[in-house]
Amino acid sequence: MFIEQSDGEIAGVSLELLGAGRELADKLEVPLSGILLGDGVRKLSSRVIGYGADIVYVIDHPVLKNYRTESYMRGVNFLAGKYKPEIFLYGATPNGKDLASAVATDLSTGLTADTTMLDVDVDKRLLEASRPAFGGNIMATILCKKNRPQMATVRPKVMKALPFDETRQGTIIDEEISLREEEMRTKVIDVVKDITKKANLADAHVIVCGGKGIGDAKGLQLIHELANTIGASVGGTRDVIEAGLLPHELQIGQTGETVTPKIYFAIGVSGAIQHVVGMKNSELIIAINSDPHAPIFEVATYGIVGDAYEIVPKLIEQLKQIRVEQGGEVSYV
Ligand X SMILES: Cc1cc2nc3c(=O)[nH]c(=O)nc-3n(C[C@H](O)[C@H](O)[C@H](O)COP(=O)(O)OP(=O)(O)OC[C@H]3O[C@@H](n4cnc5c(N)ncnc54)[C@H](O)[C@@H]3O)c2cc1C
Chain positions contacting ligand X, by CB under 6 A: 135-136, 211-213, 237-240, 251-256, 268-270, 272, 274-275, 278, 288-291, 294, 307-309
**Minimum distance from residue 228 beta carbon to ligand X (Å):** 20
In terms of CB distance, is 251 or 260 closer to ligand X? 251
**Minimum distance from residue 300 beta carbon to ligand X (Å):** 12
**Minimum distance from residue 290 beta carbon to ligand X (Å):** 4
**Minimum distance from residue 100 beta carbon to ligand X (Å):** 21
Q: Which long-range contacts (CB under 8 A, 24 or more apart) does 309-312 make?
A: 309/214, 309/218, 309/219, 309/222, 312/214, 312/222, 312/223, 312/226, 312/267, 312/288
In terms of CB distance, is 96 or 268 closer to ligand X? 268
Q: At what angle do helices 308-325 and 217-230 cross, to 10 degrees?
A: 20
Judge residue 184's burial from the number of C-beta atoms within 10 Å of its C-beta, 0-12 exposed, 13-18 middle, 19 or more buried: middle
The residues, ordered by sequence, that sit 6+ positions from 304 with a Cβ below 8 Å of its Cβ are: 286, 287, 288, 289, 311
Report how far residue 248's alpha carbon sits from residue 242's, in angstroms, rounded to the nearest whole number.
8
Report how far residue 100's alpha carbon sits from residue 104's, in angstroms, rounded to the nearest whole number.
6
Q: Are 113 and 97 in contact (CB under 8 A)?
A: yes
Q: Are 92 and 156 in contact (CB under 8 A)?
A: yes
Q: Are 283 and 290 in contact (CB under 8 A)?
A: no
User: If you count them, how many residues does the chain have?
Assistant: 333
In terms of CB distance, is 24 or 222 closer to ligand X? 222
**Minimum distance from residue 244 beta carbon to ligand X (Å):** 14
**Minimum distance from residue 194 beta carbon to ligand X (Å):** 20
DSSP state of 182: G
Q: Are 69 and 38 in contact (CB under 8 A)?
A: no
In terms of CB distance, is 21 or 215 closer to ligand X? 215
